Amino acid sequence: MTVLPITIWGEPVLHRRAAEVEEFDDGLRQLIADMFETNDMANGVGLAAPQIGVGKRIFVYKFENEDGAPPAGVVVNPVLTLSKVSGALPDPDEEVEGCLSFPGGQYPLKRAEWVRVQGFDGHGKPVDFEATGWFARIIQHEYDHLDGKLYVNRLIDRYARKAMKQAKKSGWGVPGLTWMPGVDPDPFGH
């Protein structure tokens, strides 16, 4: 397994829809293993393939949950069904997200409280589970990456302005920027 560099906001692969996976082969399974290794080294709860520069519809997660889903898993070509997202403002203490591809930033965002996830594992076998609460948030966050969105694209104006100031100050928004888990400082201080 290999730890791979994580792309930063502005890398084109992060901002376009990822392609469906068509081949469930050893190459795919090696990519998944590398994604798990990279996610672990980055202290992440999830990682989508575009975050390592691969425009494929794959994400991994690692999160102890009470929903009966495995505490770590992969979903290839996922389809999500969501509960309604509340129109209330996000709670700045309880609903804060961060992203490995927007390193160090953490902003409040309202998400659906329930999600059904359907897709495939690395061998092409069906995956189907439900997620609630924080686990549902993680799944939605990773799925967004597959549609070319980062959580900062969903922020309400007040937080979106702060996020864009952070991006500008950090020099992001251009191709070619990455950080290396296990080598570069952990942007979230784990």
Annotated binding site: 99, 141, 145
Reported as type and span, the H/E element at residue 27 is: helix 26-41
Are residues 70 and 82 in contact, defined by beta-carbon separation less than 8 angstroms? no
What are the φ/ψ torsions at residue 91 (nearest 5 degrees)? -75, 120
Neighbours of 91 (CB within 10 A): 10
Q: Identify any residues that bridge with 97 across adjacent strands, giving them in sequence order.
A: 107
Annotated binding residues for Fe cation, as ranges? 99, 141, 145
Amino acid at position 14, single letter: L
Q: Is 142 annotated in the active site? A: yes
Q: Which of 11, 37, 97, 142 is catalytic?
A: 142
Q: Residues with catalytic annotation? A: 142
